[in-house]
Amino acid sequence: MRTLLTVVAAATFSHTAFSQAMYDINFQSADQAVNQVVTTGPAPNHVSSIWFGTPTVVAAFGPLTDQPLLFNSNGQSPMAFGYYYTQIELAFAYVPLPSVDLAFDMVDAGSSHSFTVLFDTPTVRNFEFNNGQITFINPLLPNVNVGNYQMGQVNRFDIHIDYHLNQWSFTENNSLLDSGAFNPDGNLQSIRFNYSATGPDTSGTAIDNLLVVTPEPSSTSFLASICCVFVSRYFYLRKH
């Protein structure tokens, strides 16, 4: 029985191997032109929509040299409360997801702005990047100081959201910074990237190599079926 349980546990906890990329964007496809606003389109290789501003594909931004997407407020007009916004969206079907992994490269330069990743659940759960500081913001809980990042350098971030465990975890350059309660109030509807500045800002934030991964819809039920077969077979042999 101990061997059986070991096999079942191994199968259960290896479900992350059965995953699909919902978004995989590097802004280098043929329809993305340098120094032009990012082209929107269908998943998995395009941004779903632009909410505000002019997010622009550029040849390079600092050490990001493979055609990243730049957010800044240069040439824009102020919006609500005098702020300048640039924002894109990655949309999802309105279906429950057991877990979601978002990974991306980012370079942040300048101090008169903030950059926020918003998880719409449908009320937002935010990870805010502001002058080297990362903060998790949940409107129902106190803010969480996640950690720090280096301004002007390439940082690889991975945000893991686990709906079953009601938990988020944040990894920077392959090192876990922090984790905590996510407390969504519904299914994940979209992920948005928002740049907010207090004035015309020519510095900005650039991102590249966006990847959103979730387990295959069939993987959980498939593994559950395997486990049931093993357990049923075990007890059948015990009786006979």
So what's the pLDDT on residue 217?
61
Beta strands (DSSP E) in 60-200 are 69-71, 84-91, 99-109, 113-120, 124-130, 133-137, 144-148, 155-162, 167-172, 175-181, 190-197
Lowest mean pLDDT among 25-29, 71-75, 145-149, 173-177: 71-75
* pLDDT greater at residue 215 or residue 191: 191
pLDDT digits (tens, 9 = 90+) for 13-50: 333 456 789 999 999 999 999 999 999 999 999 999 99
The pTM of this model reads: 0.83
pLDDT tens for each residue of 198-225: 877 768 999 999 999 998 764 444 444 4
10 Å CB burial of residue 222 (0-12, 13-18, 19+) is middle
List residues bridging with 136 in a β-sheet: 127, 144
